[in-house]
């Protein structure tokens, strides 16, 4: 898929105010500082479509971007903020779960995980939440340029070992690097395939 247009549409914390179009949505979410904004910019070939920040927890709203006038990329707040109060955290978590509970337009979620680190309980818990609620998702391993190929394989295997203790199969996953544009085509072609299947179902 070639992205010809990527337009910011709206930010809000109220799921009821999200776009009313029935266009397919693809939600990107992960822990704070996982490189989500950089990944979104890389996928869309834009330098500052999503705002990047050195300060974790920068994305605190549901952000909708219209891609090629036919699907939405949704940038969701990170979970596990280091620097926000417990009450603020609860508000964020509430509208994240409301988004997943109520958005019928959602096709799949992409859970971003920093490949440099061992599997983190908060990531595993979030994947479990998605699984228990029947929400399709893929894992996007970020920052792959920071590791050698063998280390990447080893870290993916660590995830497989842990996930297969509770899952029948390893979830679909992608290896990416925003700075090197690794995985860009893989993720976009996957979305393209899903959009094609959806349009075939409607015909």
Q: Where are the alpha helices (DSSP H) in the chain?
A: 36-44, 86-102, 121-132, 149-163, 184-202
Q: What's the pLDDT score for residue 54? A: 47
Q: What's the pLDDT score for residue 56? A: 46
Q: What's the pLDDT score for residue 77? A: 83
Is the predicted pLDDT of residue 71 greater than 60, yes or no?
yes
Q: Which residue has the higher pLDDT, 14 or 27?
A: 27
Is it true that domain 6-148+172-179 has CATH number 3.40.50.1220?
A: no
């Amino acid at each position: 898929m070639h992205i010809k247009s990527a337009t910011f549409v709206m930010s809000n914390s109220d799921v009821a105010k999200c776009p009313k179009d029935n266009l397919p949505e693809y939600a990107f979410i992960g822990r704070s500082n996982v490189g989500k904004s950089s990944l979104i910019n890389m996928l869309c070939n834009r330098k500052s479509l999503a705002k990047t920040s050195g300060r974790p927890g920068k994305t605190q709203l549901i952000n909708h971007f219209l891609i090629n006038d036919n699907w939405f990329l949704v940038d969701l707040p990170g979970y596990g903020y280091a620097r926000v109060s417990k009450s603020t955290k609860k508000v964020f978590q509430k509208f994240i779960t409301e988004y997943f509970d109520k958005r019928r337009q959602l096709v799949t979620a992409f859970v971003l995980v920093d490949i440099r680190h061992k599997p983190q309980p908060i990531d595993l818990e979030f994947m479990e939440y998605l699984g228990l609620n029947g929400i399709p998702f893929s894992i996007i391993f970020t920052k792959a340029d920071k590791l050698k190929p063998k280390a990447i394989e080893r870290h993916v295997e660590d995830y497989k070992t842990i996930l297969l203790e509770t899952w029948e199969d390893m979830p679909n996953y992608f290896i990416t690097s925003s700075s090197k544009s690794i995985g860009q085509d893989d993720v976009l072609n996957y979305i393209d395939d899903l959009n094609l299947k959806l349009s075939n179902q409607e015909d």
